[in-house]
Copies of this chain bind each other. A is one copy, B any other.
Amino acid sequence: MNTPPPSERGTVRRLPQRASYDEAVIHAILDEGLVAHVGIAVEGQPYVIPMVYGRIGRHLYLHGASVSRLARQLAQGIPACLTVTLLDGLVLARSAFHHSANYRSVVVLGTAVPVTDAEEKTRALEAITNHALRGRWAEVRPPNAQEMKATSVLRLPLEEASAKVRTGPPHDDEEDLSLECWAGVLPLRLVTLAPEQAPDLREGIQPPVSLFESRFRRDLAAR
């Protein structure tokens, strides 16, 4: 928690005791998340779109159809904000006022730039694919030239990022502790259900081990 904020605008103002600018904290949240909400503004109107992503070192990668509006806007180098939120639980206090949520979130400010180098683009798509399911890239047919052309990849540096984390039980006012009201945390967890094979799957192909050893199940077992 001793890493200083990266910038004035990237400083958490509200409940700063929940803030962290520590790279390890930020990376861990980004690696656990699956969907980022990416915001851009066009003539003052913000648009927030859910996107999958991948991380390589100190860069995040996004991808989209080359023709998509968001990809085209981002590729022009306009300011963006990427937010990833992990919801860990509902915090149920005795007073309505002290209800809260346990969460871990990261906000990244920056400018996304298009990746044009073929090798970096391929590694970025690998990172995005493996971010969703570890080891998946090695199992599948890689993109051909036409598919690479139809896909745009953007790189967002993790230079201006902050994390915000709330954990633990509700904090009620002293005078509410005697109320006849249950208080505590209802933990929430994203889990996987049994894989559903494609209707057109060739006979005799078993689900890969990666599917059953996915990080979701590991998380579930580890806690």
Q: What residues make up the interface of A, taking CB atoms closer than 8 Å to B?
A: 9, 13-14, 34-35, 37-41, 44-50, 52, 64-65, 67-70, 78-83, 85, 87, 89-90, 92-97, 99, 101, 103, 105, 107, 109, 125, 129, 132-133, 136-137, 139-144, 147, 150-151, 169-170, 172, 176-202, 205-208, 211, 214, 216
**CB contact between A141 and one of B70, B96, B109 (< 8 Å): that residue:** B96
Q: Are B46 and A40 in contact (CB under 8 A)?
A: yes
Q: Are B94 and A44 in contact (CB under 8 A)?
A: no
**CB contact between A37 and one of B37, B143, B150, B211 (< 8 Å): that residue:** B37
Contacts of A83 in B (CB 8 A): 37, 48-50
Q: In this complex, what residue of B is CB-closest to A69?
A: B13
CA distance A132 to B194 in the complex (A): 27
Contacts of A70 in B (CB 8 A): 14
A39-B39, A95-B140, A96-B141 given; A197·B184 CB < 8 A: yes
